[in-house]
Chains A and B, each alone.
Chain A
Amino acid sequence: MTAMIVVKDLKKKYDDKQAVDGVSFSVKKGEIFGILGPNGAGKTTTLEMMETLRSIDSGTVTIDGIDVAKNPDKIKRLIGVQPQTPAFQDKTRLTEVIEMFAAAYGVKVDPLQFLRDVDLEDKAKSYVETLSGGQKQRLSITTALVHGPKVFFLDEPTTGLDPQARRHLWELIEHVRDRGISVIMTTHYMDEAEILCDRIAVMDNGKIVAIDTPKNLIKQLLARGFSKKQHVEQANLEDVFIDLTGKDLREGS
């Protein structure tokens, strides 16, 4: 499959810290690409350079064949961005939030359709400040898609959500991928990366230290002779939690 995003030898320096130090990877059309790494590894800076929010010191990013540094305006129409903590101006109805984001792209859309996509149709006339964290995440996702982007960036989308809301969000992200959109996300949750991501890149100190499918990365580790000490259970605590409380999304999540 053709590469939607090509990142070549990307670098960014803050004062005397090399935040991103020669990062290269490519993302295919319609795949979920995860970037993992400890805090300060350079994940967010890499994302921000790809999103046109931060200037690029050296190296290139091309999205759908367009250079990000040279054509930021064209790139903005190709990408949708989900910030880490979505926030909206209060006293705004959900339908109005969608109308405004669509208007920012100069387009007019049916807000209800986009709310339906993320199960927020019954909240259409509510003000954004009445939404829970999970609902805000979902609203934010749908606002990032109003203009039909080809690439969707998510920065730690499930941080602070309850297990039901996380699972629901994963489904939504998979739906986005299934529409042929390339999804790039960062996360600190390994289970999330393992379940959701088609491929992942592990970053540390501004460099990519490994890049492959989750399965292959695990295989490679085992091939190097790694073995877990403790006995592997057939279920974990999260399975217990979901078994006891069900998968249904809760009011306020």
Chain B
Amino acid sequence: MKGSLYTVITFVRINTKRFFRDRLALFFTIGFPLIFLFVFGGLNSGSGDVSFNVAIINQSDSTFAKDFVKSSEDGKILKVNKEVTTLDAAKEKMTRSELDAAIILPADFGTVKGDAKYPSGEAQIVYTQNNQQSAQALTSILNAQFGAINTKFVQNEVPFTVKQEQLNERSLSAFDYTFAGLLGFAIIGMGIFGPVNVFPELKKMGILRRLSTTPLKVWQYFLATMIGQAVIGLISLAIMFIIAIWIFNLQVVGNWFELGVFIVLGIITILGIGLALGGWAKNERQVAPLANIIVFPMMFLSGTFFPRFLMPEWLQNISAFLPLTPVIDGIRLISTEGKGFIDILPQLGLIGAWMIVIYAIAFKVFRWE
């Protein structure tokens, strides 16, 4: 037994060193998920506020109009494109969907007309066909703003009003879901595509066959691969966490130790799929289609790129049982919702069950050549 462990540890040590010497492997394991993190993180940043891309074309000289433009530019609801000053320029941008709508303040906007005591005016919202919804929402927003302004000038009885109150409960942001999904993506990348690419190559070169003339056992080889992947995976995911916390304001409220243990379990489970596929395949051509059939549906259905709650209920019920789903859910529950192992027993149980099934298959179908 002591010799067996020495075997495993030596394989882990040397293979991990080899990994860090291989720039291509480093890129695909660590760099590639980071690119996705930046893309999706960038898309989701500030997603808590609804914002419209608009141009404000101010044709009026009134102080009211100027103040209105300034407060709109400073506010969070509108994202004002300051470069667009003419209607033609706005139209061009709208046809390319770079702008949702243009707000036109006519020349008499905000001036005091006749013998009125207060300024008045009619703002115009122009939009193209494909932006009807944005324009309607924008109209409501402006109506509400003008309503508030109007009450300052004209005293009116307002029988029905709405009052806002912010709760102190922390809610999940879209990024929390995206981030857990991206971790799942990284785990799939190294756990499945790693062995699926490497094993057939090792077989082709006769390296596994040469190993099979030694007393090395399949379990030793698998265990060495698992430990190596867990180490590399933890490093890769740690870098993702650091960047998510540092740049995208991810708030991790859970226990780091439990998170680490859970991630290792997830990595090992998903790696089993890669070991089964790569261990079974005689060559790349045999395994590539099968790997794609398994990986891509699982990737989308388990909530890697968009959260599962967006799916129809029947699909959610099915996708809940895929091996990647409890991994992604568990990571999110621990890291951003602060749950402990006891709270995520269903996820742990499902992962455990999958681990047994996957590794039973992996050991059964493995071949050295």
Contacts and interface: CB of A to CB of B under 8 A. Distances in A.
Contact of B3 (A51, A53, A85, A106): A106
A106 B209 CA distance: 18
Nearest to B1: A106
Interface in A78-101: 79, 81, 83-92, 96, 99-101
A92 B14 contact: yes
A241 B6 CA distance: 49
Contacts of B215: 73, 76-77, 104-106
A91 B18 contact: yes
A52 interface: yes
Interface residues of A, number: 30
Determine the interface band of chain B, counting residues with CB < 8 A from chain A.
20 to 34
A108 interface: yes
Tell me what chain A mostly uses at the interface: helix, strand, loop, or mixed.
Answer: loop
Contacts of A76: 213-215
A160 B3 CA distance: 38
Contact of B210 (A83, A90, A92): A83
A89 B15 CA distance: 9
Tell me what chain B mostly uses at the interface: helix, strand, loop, or mixed.
Answer: helix
| Most chain B CB within a 10 A radius of its CB, from A86, A89, A100, A104 | A104
B207 A88 contact: yes
Contact of A96 (B14, B206, B214): B14
A187 to B, nearest CB: 19
| Most chain B CB within a 10 A radius of its CB, from A52, A88, A96 | A96
A209 interface: no
B214 A101 contact: yes
B10 interface: yes
Nearest to A96: B14
B134 interface: no
B214 A105 contact: yes
Interface in B310-363: none
Given A76-B214, A87-B210, A89-B202, 17 more contacts: A51-B213, A53-B212, A76-B215, A81-B210, A81-B213, A83-B209, A85-B206, A87-B207, A88-B207, A91-B18, A91-B22, A96-B14, A100-B10, A100-B11, A103-B6, A104-B7, A106-B4
Interface of B: 3-4, 6-7, 10-11, 14, 17-18, 21-22, 202, 205-207, 209-216
Interface of A: 51-53, 73, 76-77, 79, 81, 83-92, 96, 99-101, 103-108, 127, 147
7 contacts: A79-B213, A85-B206, A86-B210, A91-B18, A91-B22, A103-B7, A103-B10
